[in-house]
Amino acid sequence: MNHFAQVIDRYRQQSHSEADKGHRFERLMQAMLRTLPPWSKEIKSYNRGHGSVQDDSMKNYIHRHVSMWFWIVSLVIFIMLIVGYIVLKQAGGHVVPAQVNCREDKRPYRRVTYWQQEVNCANPIATSYEGEGIDTYTAQSIYTDNCVLYLPESYKPQGTPTKLIIFCKEGDSQVGTSSDPIFDEQRCGRLFHWLLYLGYAVVAADGVPDAWKAAIGATERAVGNYVAVQSTIKAVEYVGKHYNVDTGRLFVFGYSQGGHYAQNVIDNSALNVAAVAEWSPVCSMRWHQWDLSSNATVGGVTFTKAARLNIARMFGFPAVSTNIQLLNLDYDPDLTMGYDPWTRNVEDPYNDFVKQEGSDFLYRLPDGVTVDQITMKKYSKAPLKIWAAEDDNKLSADVFKVFIKAMRNTGQIAELKLYNQGEHHVQQYQTAVGTFVENGETCDLYPIALDVALWFYNFGGYPLKDYNLSE
């Protein structure tokens, strides 16, 4: 016990009443103030002008100065408590990490949370079989990626964790910006309103950091690259640490190039995935992406095959500076090893597709070859269902068929729902079967969205909720 504490304890023992305790403590404060530099000069000046300081005068002096500081400090503490309470209420009972940039929302938690995280953009694929110097190592290439988390109205910071869906974005979109694809009504927006209505949380990473994209001369297309996989893993870890969500049993959704992205996240991570749903997905770098026609202007040069450009620049293909050079570039499966679902964990891969008549990027099975004859085997870590259209004008329907048949050849759960029309955006061709209200907005419900929810429910997802039937 220090000296001051001993004095206070002795005063308590010697005091005969509460009032006496107060008087003794006041005298102790007077003695202390006479020894403190900020106060001693004022007290000495007071003594010179008034003679010795009488008890009543000193009491008034103490009350006037100490009371003033007491109320100032009390006011500051009160303001801090109010601010802290507001922050905790908005964070849903837990403190949102400082690096999180949250949009305003009227709920007691953040409906939409954006944050950034560092990722290593160095190509992890070893392509050399030659000996290297004993002291060589692979340098890191650190960039910052954008991520987003959407929480449903039913989210609670305590209790049963909210089920989590990983959203793998399509090609020409960016997560965490004004072109955030999650609620793009022309793509997946209608589906995700429905999934949030059912109670799921949704997390997504962009997978193509802006600064990295600029450094290598690429576009926003993720093409299932290694950075997208790494960033998604880190995003799941992040929300699992800071929010009451279930990261032990995940659901994955991918649309278009996001299907390729999703397959790579599933197979190239230790994440435990319960089920995967994909709309019109890229199943092969070679047969779905390499020849895909899509324009992009990079560095003042217009390229007519944006997906091929990104594959080339992200995976270390020979450098190209003109569109002609890009068009003459051959696909090399060794350079994309481990990141092409068509060749990863596959036996007897099928590569005898032929071009569809009148197209320079769509492929089909040769005449006389049927899906039943395919012997290719594809191993994956989670049940998969694909929704696509026979007349898809971006990706070849026969490639969807062979991919699912290859998974079924291994005894895995794999399904394909192939519509007779719908091109690359099936949902836009469907008629709404009902409506529901999510986040105060009345939303249309489409058959394909019902199907996705039911698929997830079959593997431990949320059951379907009531909705208003269309007349």
Higher-pLDDT residue of 31, 232: 232
List the domains of the chain with CATH numbers: 3-90 (no CATH), 101-124+140-469 (3.40.50.1820)
Question: What whole-number percentage of the chain has pLDDT above 70?
Answer: 74
Predicted pLDDT at 17: 60
Which whole number is the average pLDDT over 241-251? 97
pLDDT digits (tens, 9 = 90+) for 223-237: 889 999 999 999 999
The string over 133-142, giving b where at least 16 C-beta atoms fall within 10 Å of a residue's C-beta and e elsewhere, is eeeeeeeeee
Mapped onto helix, strand or coil, the DSSP state of residue 410 is: coil
Are 165 and 252 within 8 A, CB to CB?
Answer: yes
Distance CA 279, CA 390 (A): 13
pLDDT digits (tens, 9 = 90+) for 376-418: 999 999 999 999 999 999 999 999 999 999 999 999 999 999 9
Which whole number is the average pLDDT over 151-170? 94
Predicted pLDDT at 103: 39
Distance CA 260, CA 268 (A): 12
pLDDT digits (tens, 9 = 90+) for 76-105: 777 776 655 554 444 433 333 333 333 334
Q: Percent helix, strand and coil across the chain, each rounded to 5?
A: 40, 20, 40
Predicted pLDDT at 101: 37
Mapped onto helix, strand or coil, the DSSP state of residue 378 is: strand
Higher-pLDDT residue of 221, 88: 221
**Token pair of 322 as six digits:** 């003109």
pLDDT digits (tens, 9 = 90+) for 327-384: 999 999 999 999 999 999 999 999 999 999 989 899 999 999 999 999 999 999 999 9
Beta strands per DSSP E along 304-383: 346-347, 354-355, 363-364, 377-378
Are 334 and 127 within 8 A, CB to CB?
Answer: yes
